[in-house]
Amino acid sequence: MKRHKHFNFQFSIFNLAAALLLLFAACDTIDSEEYTVYDGAPVSWSPAPAAPEAVQRAYVEKYTGPHCNNCPKADRTLDALHHQHGDRLVVVSINHPTGQGIPFRGDPDMRTDGGTAWDRFFGINAIPAAYLNRNRSNPPYLGEMGSIGGDIAAALQQTPTAAIAVQASAQGTSVNITADIALLQEFPSTLTLTAALIEDSLVYHQSDGTTTDTAYVHNHMLRKVITSYWGADLPDGQNLLRGTLSFTPADDIVLENSHIVVFLSDKASRRVINCASCPLTTDH
């Protein structure tokens, strides 16, 4: 992680320090996300050879944790909806960084730096919680997600304003990703492309109601935000784009159980406009 500005003042005069504290106390607090940049795989842009199919999909970002006894109910709700809608519903599960998100002793730690940055930015303070298309004009869905099904169905009925498709392949130690994008209308603010890797079939402890399941199967788990956490800016003045990027996954990720997720979002509001996912193909 790098910051645009770095201060390294040393104060030896107490009065100066006190004066500065009073000065800063009188100022408005700056949102840390306004001056923090997160390193990630860079995206190379070129014209796309053809426009991807204009299919509207829905993106659900679910915040969870192994000690959360209500989270399996939310999992079952979203799993059923994923079965119903197929790849038109993209689910990303993110382990909360503290409290119920801390792993059981001896289990793998599924918390990620990118997921923690998102969790803190959106102010997640109770799990399970989920955002649909990162729509911050509404509160996040909580608990068993009982009302999210109808809202997902409504989101899928919307006319797409942008189309996106993704392909990904693992070659040796590198994963190469290609995302084709077509903008179907003018957008008043900058759009960003975010790419992430999720993994299915991870087996470890999970609180479930009044019991603990020692062999719970965790799916859609965020393992890495590949781009910068808040995405790469789309270049101005182009409506048909191809973004390419590559990265080296961690050794403990099972590529055959993994998917690449990409989504377009409005840089100002963080709202997700459209998304896509694909399994990883491998060379063995």
**Bridging pattern class, strands 44-47 and 240-247:** antiparallel
pLDDT tens across 181-190, in order?
Answer: 999 999 999 9
3-state secondary structure of 216: strand
pLDDT of residue 119: 97
pLDDT of residue 137: 83
pLDDT of residue 86: 96
pLDDT of residue 281: 85
Rounded to whole angstroms, how far apart are CA atoms 263 and 57? 10
pLDDT tens across 187-216, in order?
Answer: 999 999 999 999 999 999 999 999 999 999
pLDDT of residue 259: 97
Rounded to whole angstroms, how far apart are CA atoms 281 and 147? 35
Rounded to whole angstroms, how far apart are CA atoms 84 and 78? 10
pLDDT tens across 7-19, in order?
Answer: 343 333 334 333 3
pLDDT tens across 51-60, in order?
Answer: 999 999 999 9
pLDDT of residue 6: 41
Rounded to whole angstroms, how far apart are CA atoms 91 and 107? 23
CA 130 to chain centre: 11
Q: What one-letter code names the amino acid at 92? A: V
| CATH architecture classification, 44-282 | Sandwich (2.60)
pLDDT of residue 28: 32
Q: Residue ranges of the chain with pLDDT lower than 70?
A: 1-38, 283-284
pLDDT of residue 132: 97
pLDDT of residue 101: 97
pLDDT of residue 37: 53
